Structure 1
Amino acid sequence: MTQASWNLISRFLGLSLFAVAGCTVEAVGSPEELEEEARASVGGARFGTYCQVLFENDWQDEVIDGWDRCSAFNDELDDTDTKVFYWNLQGAKPFWEGASDQVYVEDVNLMFTNTHGGGWTNSAVYAMWDDGDLVHSTDLRWGNEGHGLSIFASYACETLKYSDDRTWHRWNAAMKGGLRIILGSHDEVWNSDTTDEIGEDFADNIQGGQSLRNAWKDALSDWNHDQDVTAVSFGNSLADCESRRDGMTWQNYTSYPRRRDGDVTHWCYVAWENL
């Protein structure tokens, strides 16, 4: 099986970027209480999956075993929670960036993604199927529509890069919508048959009550490749940020109030090298 690091190559810029008549009843309660009630009413939380293996005109390398990762994630997590969608990334960019059709990103609590990624100077980028199409993190605002996305997990290179001190610049716009935590990589993750179970492992870990950060770390650890794993959270103080980063689970994440706009003042991360 071919083994390749998921680096996003910007061929059009010539740069190697190392990544790849009735009554109205008003609801009573805090946003978090209402969110928890909604979660219980549908038999668990809601999740969706956006993944891509092949790309138009081969503008990116094949993501080997990508369907296995995503399908296994879905098959495991829908034993306890509600799968809302499983789509490829053809024509998906408008839905990531806030299209009015909320059957997509903002209608789930957790989104899992498998594609190529990169940590550019001014944004984190994700490759869509469409030739040359990238989603930029600076064009996102997640967490404030529909159910509102809370957890974003992406198996892609470099999207949570922090070594250049640009993480805040890349992600504060997205987080200010109310997104609670991002799981990804600060450098490289690998594409091979020894990493095809990371989706299933992550789902199993969060079902078992592990913290989101540790569930992600454990799932991405691989005996055959050096994986670089990261979790990033934002808050209204350093203590708030660290508490959310370290204590949040799939079972308790609604107990952490959403932070939006001016309440997002700090960011924090945890990272592991060469797992």
Structure 2
Amino acid sequence: MSHGSAGYTPGAKIWMDGKLVEWGDAKIHLVSHVIQYGSGVFEGIRVYKTSAGNQAFRLREHLSRLLGSAKIYRMETGYSLFQLTDACMETAAASGLEACYIRPLVYRGFGNVGVNPLGCPINVAIAVWQWGAYLGADGLEQGIDVKVSSWCRLAPNTMPALAKATANYMNAQLIKAEALLDGYGEGIALNTDGTVSEGSGENIFLVMDGKLVTPALSDSILSGITRNTVLTLANDLGIEVRESPVPREMLYLADEVFFCGTAAEITPVRS
């Protein structure tokens, strides 16, 4: 199985606008606005099997970001944070899964066939599946080889990087596909200022002289939940952190580099 792939999980359910449906029955119209124009926002949440039962990692923070992304794109979901929290856990439980990945999605359905999104209904869906190591099990242990992408991250005044929007990931696909076709596990994108932004689907940290260095939120990055966790843990451990523009050269001078994200978890960069 290639990096980032996830197979169908037998018995898995999908929550669609308040109802659980079978995986194969989760369908939308071909000319829905989200299919034509990418008008959706989403999240990715891992559930871990622990001695205290199944635990969703920072579920509330993920769903708060989902609602924030929807607000940026003027998409009123009609569901509260608490309702979405219950829906996520209901879907995971109904699918009979312990360790799994939850994908809530807010999207514009069938309505206007033109670019204008405002007349389209807002739909909400939640899917769950089993998903192993996003960048490969070996990558978690031994690290991955990466390249600096020829593609830049989207400028803040073109697409809002702080929104986890489906359309943003067309840019991510270019970064990812180029890296894989060139024989690397992942790509590192620069922003339009020429400084380091992030991976195709991960935030990035550098270790330099015992300090953590990471691009700032203004550097065309997603405000990652795992990134925030790393910052919190570093503060608790007394590790100095610098959030600021990161020149490309620092990638070569760093003592260590690692990616972080819900899917990627903490994956070291080998070269």
Tell me the TM-score normalized by structure 2: 0.28
More strand by share: 2
Larger radius of gyration: 2
Tell me the TM-score normalized by structure 1: 0.27
